[in-house]
Amino acid sequence: MTNKYKTQAAELVKLGVSKLLEADKDFDSEKILSSIEVPPDPKLGDFSSTICFDLSKMLKKPPALIAKKLASKIGIKGSSFERVETAGPGYVNFFLEFEGFAKDTVSAAIGKKIKPKPAKKTKKITVEFPSVNPGKPLHIGHARNAVLGMIVSNALEFVGNLVVRMDYPDDLGLQVAQTVWGYQNLCGTPDPSMKLDYWQGIQYVEVAKKIDDPKVSKEVNGIMKKMEEGGNETATFAEKIALESVDAQKITTQRMNVFSDVMVRESDLVKNGVVERAIEHLKKGKSLVKEEQGPNKGCFVVKLGHLDEFRGMENPDKIIVRSNGATTYTGKDIGFHLWKFGLSDTKLKYKKHLVQKNGAVLWCVVSKDSGVQEHEHESRGEEKPEFNSVDAAINVIGSEQKYPQKVVKKSLEAMGFVKEAENLHHLSYEFVVLPDAKISGRKGTWVGAGVSTDEVLDESVERVKTLINGRAKTDPSLSMNKKELADVSEKVGVGAVIFALAKVSPDKKIIFKWDEVLSFEGESGPYLQYACVRASKILSKAKEKQIDTSNLSKFDASVLSSEVEKALVRKLWGFCEAVDKTALELKPNILTEYTTELASAFSSFYNLKQVLNAEKQEERQARLALVLATKNTLEAALKLLGIEVPEKM
């Protein structure tokens, strides 16, 4: 799969612009490349340039007039294009010599060239997700976080970046302290019949009912203080049960094919001096101001009221260090990002925590005084695990955290780290709404409400089983044995949830409706899986009929001349474009939309064209090549989305 045609169109435009301006100097090559787009209608061409709208501002002439002159300057002899035309208010449209384009595009997909670019001369990027607080199960909103982080990481890695998938649980928070109190005063032994994170969540609800009692509140605050101090029995126990909770949560995330490279806990930053050094840095750089009066008296704050982003806020200044000397969560987050960008002189050590379902090691930070040595980082092929000193950092965090994320960014700027601040990105996302369900951790409205991710996944799988069994009653050929039913239901049910969480733009709320999630038509996970399975079935039937499929690369591309065949070829070409755009804009819905369109184009092709029963051998060969290319591309796209494909549906 290649973008050479887009690059070639840009080069032709560049040469044409140079002739038009009668100058040898470049006219912003990047702007020319970014002006190349795919028109919404193939009748308008395969590629189109909008550069004439930019030239219009320079030349003070209408873009349509400039387009006509530019088109006359563009020479396509020896290129992959058969003609250039102008259209509308100033577009320059390129029409491909389609046979060569089809041959290249389909052959690339057949040859399994749909693979990640090698991580050379590219960025090292950390993506922080899902970072769920211990002491509770993931609710469906957390699942959206996990899915967004997973797909963005996969896309960034596919286009050639070295990606560090980082999990950052807050194991020093109030919820952990309350959970410790619950162990000590309610029931110290978890119910073995329950998943641990779910059990801890229920216990947290019981503690929350008692937290208004001054005695309980005082005891919980005492536990928090000991946790912050570290080096005591309470802190050790808190770390243990928090880690057990996170491990239970990871059973859920791994079920959705969400994996991490390293886990950095809040306590790790405190114990290893990352936070302390960050506060010292802030004070030296005069980024922190100690308030001498007012409600923040005695606190060190970052002053933000003078900045446009915070102007008009009632309390724009952010407390970093409280009057009692305790560092706030945002203060720790600033220290965390100094470390991420390699701006902290603290070097962390790691140990192998667990081997995940995909075979990759999850590394965990160890205390500097634990005596644990750095391990060879086998899973990444590096001599030592180096998870920081990144070029860019992406934090997948809910939209309600926009303010503290801006505080971290502006604090880096205030310290003089402008480049790092520019490369810190907040992938903000909105809530997931399940009709008739409420999510309140403290009140416990989630208990038994079917809003935990485990419950949603289980329900999805059970609904798929019911659908399969229902169809098998009317069509016995669709029946499956117990093992097949379990495998297909799991992959389709989980895939349906993943797709539902990814297909909506992160800045929009999701209304989770089962009839849409599990639909086998239109924009849904099952629809994409079915398209992929159908392509595989066609190829299997070809082998059953003893049709040679071993050398499909030798096909006659001129045969693929109908509109549905051309549409499918064009859509196949768009795969890398979709992944590039997903990585650039940090929007997984771009990839889900593309994959849906590819499945739809394949469905149209399959419904209108005979493949195995094609009249001519060259037609059958070319169409089988197109089926194989589609199968490979769908599999690649679904892999990036974290969706597994069952063998049958």
Query: What's residue 400's pLDDT?
Result: 94
Query: What's residue 378's pLDDT?
Result: 41
* Statement: residue 380 has pLDDT above 50: no
Q: Which of 497, 517, 507 is nearest to 641 (CA)?
A: 497
Average pLDDT for residues 122-137, to the nearest whole number? 93
Q: What percent of the chain has pLDDT over 90?
A: 70
Confidence of residue 316 (pLDDT cuts 50, 70, 90): confident
Q: What is the pLDDT of residues 381-392, one digit of tens each?
A: 343 568 999 999
Q: Which 8-state DSSP code applies to residue 368?
A: T
Of 244-253, 279-288, 640-649, give the lowest mean pLDDT range.
Answer: 279-288
Confidence of residue 377 (pLDDT cuts 50, 70, 90): very low
Confidence of residue 317 (pLDDT cuts 50, 70, 90): confident
Query: What's residue 111's pLDDT?
Result: 82
d(CA 220, CA 206): 14
**What six digits make up the tokens of 268?**
């790790």
Q: What does the mean pLDDT of the chain come to?
A: 90
Q: Is 474 exposed, middle or buried (0-12, 13-18, 19+ CB in 10 A)?
A: exposed
Instruction: Locate CATH 1.10.730.10 in the chain.
Output: 453-640
Cα 499 to chain center, whole Å? 12
Average pLDDT for residues 428-451, to the nearest whole number? 67
Query: What's residue 118's pLDDT?
Result: 64
Residues 575, 1 contacting (CB under 8 angstroms): yes
Instruction: Locate CATH 3.40.50.620 in the chain.
Output: 124-271+351-433
Q: What is the pLDDT of residues 231-266, one digit of tens each?
A: 899 999 999 999 999 999 999 999 999 999 999 999
Average pLDDT for residues 167-171, to the nearest whole number? 95
Q: Which residues fall within 8 angstroms of residue 72, CB to CB, at 6 or more apart?
A: none
Which class does domain 4-96 fall in? alpha beta
* Statement: residue 447 has pLDDT above 70: no
* Statement: residue 371 has pLDDT above 90: no
Q: What is the pLDDT of residues 54-87, one digit of tens each?
A: 999 889 999 999 999 999 999 999 999 999 999 9
Average pLDDT for residues 91-112, to the nearest whole number? 93
Confidence of residue 370 (pLDDT cuts 50, 70, 90): very low
Query: What's residue 634's pLDDT?
Result: 98
Question: For 244-388, where are the E strands, in sequence order?
Answer: 262-263, 289-290, 300-302, 318-321, 349-355, 361-366
Residues 410, 332 contacting (CB under 8 angstroms): no
Confidence of residue 596 (pLDDT cuts 50, 70, 90): very high
Query: What's residue 445's pLDDT?
Result: 54
At residue 211, what are phi and psi to the nearest 5 degrees?
Answer: -65, -20
> Nearest 5 degrees, angle CA 80-CA 85-CA 89?
135
Q: What is the pLDDT of residues 483-521, one digit of tens each?
A: 999 999 999 999 999 999 999 999 999 999 999 999 988
More confident residue, 115 or 503: 503
Confidence of residue 429 (pLDDT cuts 50, 70, 90): very high
Average pLDDT for residues 97-104, to the nearest whole number? 95
Query: What's residue 183's pLDDT?
Result: 94
**In this structure, which CATH number among 3.30.360.10, 3.40.50.620, 3.40.630.30, 3.60.15.10 belongs to the domain 124-271+351-433?**
3.40.50.620
* Statement: residue 425 has pLDDT above 80: yes
* Statement: residue 268 has pLDDT above 80: yes
Which class does domain 453-640 fall in? mainly alpha
Q: What is the pLDDT of residues 27-39, one digit of tens each?
A: 677 889 899 999 9
DSSP 390-411: -SEEEEEEEGGGHHHHHHHHHH
Residues 484, 464 contacting (CB under 8 angstroms): no
